[in-house]
Amino acid sequence: MKIDWPFFAIKPSITISSLCYSIFRIEPYTSCTYSCVFCYARWYRKPLPLTSPQILEAWKRLANSLRNVDLPPPFFRLSTLTEPFQEQLEARHRTSLNIMRIAHKHEVPLIVNTKSDLIGKSPWIDELLRLADKNLVLVQVSLTATDPEISKALEPNAPMPERRLKLIEYLKGHDVPVIARLQPLIPGIERPQLEAARKALDHGSLGIIVEPLRETRDGLIKVAKALRKDPEEYLIEFKWEPYVPSSSDSELLRPNLEWRREIFQELHAVISRYGRIMTICKNGLWLNLSSHDADCCQSQYIKAPHSIRETLYERLVRSRESLPNIHVLHEEHFMRYPRIIRRALKLHHNKLRKILGKKDLLNELVHYA
């Protein structure tokens, strides 16, 4: 299998190229046993072996090559398309454990995104603590709702929310930076999701990342049925709109703009009372609601030096100065990285440049509360 840039980077798109500071990822598995009703990753997965030794070999080579660059490495997400610590696979293969070991050895920062409390058990917690000792990790614990009935209906095979809240508390108590990802935000369960934000903060989450649901029409029918709502009424009530800006024929839909504005405002009020920040993932620039002192992944909690790319915010609102632990990449920096990294950065940069030339598209991407 040829290893090229898509193996470690998300492909350019209007949403990712314009809004995401992080485009790099590592996927330990090609399938997921949690069977979440709303799972977007099913559109991107391919019928490949569940895991492969090539993943670790390729990761080892890339991580090693980043040590020779005179700029901080970008951070990598573990992972974006599957649960990296799903018990049935990880206990047997330990691919994610070895990914963490390689990251530790070569000092490559990781953002770990998980619903599993397996990471709080040995040997996974041992490696996580070693990464934290070097300031190389941020853990993002995903929550949909803390109501067990809702969680069971939407995430049937994932650990119950109470276990994830205890994981947040445990990691915070062991000085591992941890934040909650409240995703997806789903119409019809707004109150339970506000309560989930409160509970995550009560258990020690340093901040909250939010992202509304995106689904096909058929997928929305499945979500409605899981929530015991009439599918046709559900589709009508929330006036779903195309997920991709300026695309009337997009198969992917998202809640309408006013619904998103209202839930963002309510969440922002809750989170602000705790003195924490909220960032909005892949849903445009919300200039008065999403914190732009941090990138959307809140990677400022990774204290080891790392690099982020520029987005619409830096091009339209204000430039971002590099900090001791965060280096802002410009086009002239790309060539100093290994081919896989520089190629991905260049492709996303070119896509961003095209987006900046489309006024109507920009109007759809930039919002005010």
Question: pLDDT tens digit string along 173-221?
Answer: 999 999 999 999 999 999 999 999 999 999 999 999 999 999 999 999 9
Give the pLDDT confidence score for residue 49 in this predicted structure: 47
Number of domains in the chain: 1
pLDDT band of residue 292 (cuts 50, 70, 90) is confident
pLDDT band of residue 249 (cuts 50, 70, 90) is low
Q: Give this prediction's pTM.
A: 0.95
Which two three-digit tokens encode residue 204?
Answer: 């020690």
DSSP 140-189: EEEES-S-HHHHHHHSTTSPPHHHHHHHHHHHHHTT--EEEEEEEE-TT-
- Distance (Å, whole) CA 349 – CA 311: 9
Residues contacting 123, CB < 8 A, separation 6+ = 97
- CA nearest neighbour of 125 among 175, 159, 57: 175
pLDDT digits (tens, 9 = 90+) for 302-335: 999 999 999 999 999 998 888 889 999 999 999 9
Give the domain CATH number at 48: 3.80.30.30
For the cut 80, the answer to whether the pLDDT of residue 245 exceeds it is: no
Give the pLDDT confidence score for residue 88 in this predicted structure: 87
Percentage, residues of the chain above pLDDT 90: 86
- Helix residue ranges, H only, 174-241: 190-202, 217-226, 231-237
For the cut 70, the answer to whether the pLDDT of residue 94 exceeds it is: yes
Report, as an integer, the average pLDDT of 49-75: 90
* CA dihedral (342, 348, 350, 352) positive or negative: negative
Q: Where are the beta strands (DSSP E) in the chain?
A: 76-78, 110-114, 137-143, 178-185, 207-212, 241-242, 253-254, 277-280, 285-286, 306-308, 326-328, 366-367
Q: Name the residue with higher pLDDT: 1 or 76.
A: 76
**Residue ranges making up the domain that contains 26:** 5-367
Find the range with the poorest average confidence among 30-34, 42-46, 109-113, 354-358: 42-46
